[in-house]
Amino acid sequence: MQKLHLSQVLSQKLSPQQIQFIKLLQVPTAELDARVEEELEINPALEEGREEEKKESEEEDFEDSYEEDVSLEDKDLNLDDYLNDDYGGYKMQGDGNYSPDDEDREIPISSGSSLHEQLLSQLGFLKLDERQKNIGKQLIGSIENDGYIRRDLEAIINDLAFSQNVETDLDEVEEILRRIQEFDPAGIAARNLQECLLIQLERKEHPDDPAVQNAIKIVTECFDEFTKKHYTKIQKKLEIEDEDLKDAVNLIIKCNPKPGGISDGLVKTQYIIPDFILTNVDGKLDISLNSKNAPELRVSRSYSEMFDAYDKSDKKDKKLKDTVTFVKQKLDAAKWFIDAIKQRQQTLLRTMQAILDYQTEFFVEGDETKLKPMILKDIAEKIEMDISTVSRVANSKSIQTEFGIFPLKYFFSEGIATDSGEDVSNKEVKSVLQQMVDNEDKRKPLSDDKLVKLLNDKGYNIARRTVAKYREQLQIPVARLRKEL
């Protein structure tokens, strides 16, 4: 049985101006130009250039006309264009448009050919009939970005039968695959790392060289021991001397484990454009925004005059009302956008200044050990803004210093207690940990337990699990895998 009932619910909704600001705040400098261009294209009431100087009376008249006719402002104003922006790179984790794939996007370079195009070109030089070419194309299409074919060959045979009506068997597919594996780059189209290394070793210039032969034996007969760096077991099994083992292992580690070497099939690169510039003049630190963060924008004078003329007209028919509404929408949107850009600049500077004040010692000397423990809440309280606002700034912005370019999130870290009762940044601990690993005897690498003892001896109260976590964050392998001959 259906029933009707009334209920009161409290909810928070962002205004269009707030949404505009939040989206712009997340935009890195490299993408701000594109965002401004987008707005200029869709809003004729927004123009490039500085705001023209106007007489005070003209400004007052414009402001008065801007606030008049509340019914047009509230009743007919359509905000869908501003609530449903889908510009790449401006999506928020809190809204429905966010995708994890948006976090770390790169800018592709358009020049050059893709890996698949290069392989298809080489396929054309083989003397294959049309049917065999189709098999070759299917195999090349199954090669992943790192150069491997991980799909089962039986599945590829089924694809050929159903999608291209090509009947074949495993022997024929493997024969064509072997011919593709002779293409450049060496190691391409391997089905696993072991096969990839073997392909490269078998194509060495001097196949009769003892080092090459030993390397092939190691990969063929002792691959599991090699991956675990159990060199003693390899020596015992293959009965080879220390020097011969070292030469063979050096050959293997020089092979390319990812022969595709191309992300997403195309060469890509990423340019870092700093949002802030830090200068040190006689010990005085000064922060400035990258000039790209301050585009010169203004509300179109012709549009504001048009609105003023229409609004004061005696003709109040529906068509004229629609025209007035449209013009007002564009004027409002232009004003909001300019205000959001200005607010963005102010928030960026306030946040960066607070970080600078907090981490002054680092910015003066550039010494990582001078970094203080600092979390988002510390800066949020300092600038009297929400933590989410600081997070949006820190996650997508960077600063150029005389020591290099740093992402703002680099300056945020948790604290580790010391014997003296002080808190130090975990970045300091990581730096010390990295130095210990760099200076260790690679024939007898330091275990995590040993690293904990050494750090404790230096006064850092840190647990073994924390050392393991920091080691992983620094991409340092376990001691066994750091062992060298």
Question: 219 falls in which pLDDT band (50, 70, 90)?
Answer: very high
Per-residue pLDDT tens over the stretch 318-345? 777 777 788 788 888 888 888 888 888 8
Q: Tokens 């801007």 correspond to what residue?
A: 66
Q: Which residues, 6+ apart, have CB-to-CB distance to 440 below 8 Å?
A: 446, 482
Please tell me whether residue 290 adopts helix, strand or coil conformation. coil
Please tell me whether residue 278 adopts helix, strand or coil conformation. strand
What is the average pLDDT across 302-326? Answer: 72
Structure tokens at 292: 């790209």
Percent of the chain with pLDDT over 70: 78
Question: 475 falls in which pLDDT band (50, 70, 90)?
Answer: confident
CB under 8 A, 24+ apart: contacts of 322-331: 324/69, 324/72, 325/72, 325/76, 325/77, 327/45, 327/303, 328/69, 328/72, 328/73, 328/77, 329/77, 329/78, 330/43, 330/44, 330/45, 330/46, 330/303, 331/45, 331/66, 331/299, 331/303, 331/304, 331/307
Higher pLDDT, 362 or 303: 362
pLDDT for 244 beyond 70 = yes
What is the average pLDDT across 271-289? Answer: 85
DSSP run (H or E) holding 298: strand 297-299
Is the separation of the CB atoms in 377 and 387 below 8 Å? yes
Cα separation, 360 vs 276, whole angstroms: 15
Q: What amino acid occupies position 39?
A: E
| Highest mean pLDDT out of 124-138, 318-332, 383-397 | 124-138
pLDDT at 71: 36
Question: 422 falls in which pLDDT band (50, 70, 90)?
Answer: low
Question: 471 falls in which pLDDT band (50, 70, 90)?
Answer: confident
Question: 49 falls in which pLDDT band (50, 70, 90)?
Answer: confident
pLDDT at 427: 76
What is the average pLDDT across 406-415? Answer: 83
Is the separation of the CB atoms in 364 and 404 below 8 Å? no
pLDDT for 140 beyond 80 = yes
Q: Which residues, 6+ apart, have CB-to-CB distance to 280 below 8 Å?
A: 286, 363, 364, 402
Q: What amino acid occupies position 219?
A: V
Single pTM value for the model: 0.50
Q: Tokens 């209920």 correspond to what residue?
A: 7
Question: 375 falls in which pLDDT band (50, 70, 90)?
Answer: confident
Question: 12 falls in which pLDDT band (50, 70, 90)?
Answer: low
Instruction: Compute the mean pLDDT over every residue in the chain, rounded to the nearest whole number.
Output: 78
Q: What amino acid occupies position 421?
A: G
pLDDT at 325: 80
pLDDT at 317: 66
Identify the CATH number of the domain defined by range 415-482. 1.10.10.60
What is the average pLDDT across 120-136? Answer: 90
Cα separation, 386 vs 30, whole angstroms: 25
How many angstroms separate the Cα of 412 from the Cα of each of 208, 213, 452?
55, 51, 24
Domain assignments of the chain as residue spans, ordered by start:
54-95+271-412, 115-263, 415-482
- Which backbone phi and psi does 298 adopt, to 5 degrees? -150, 160
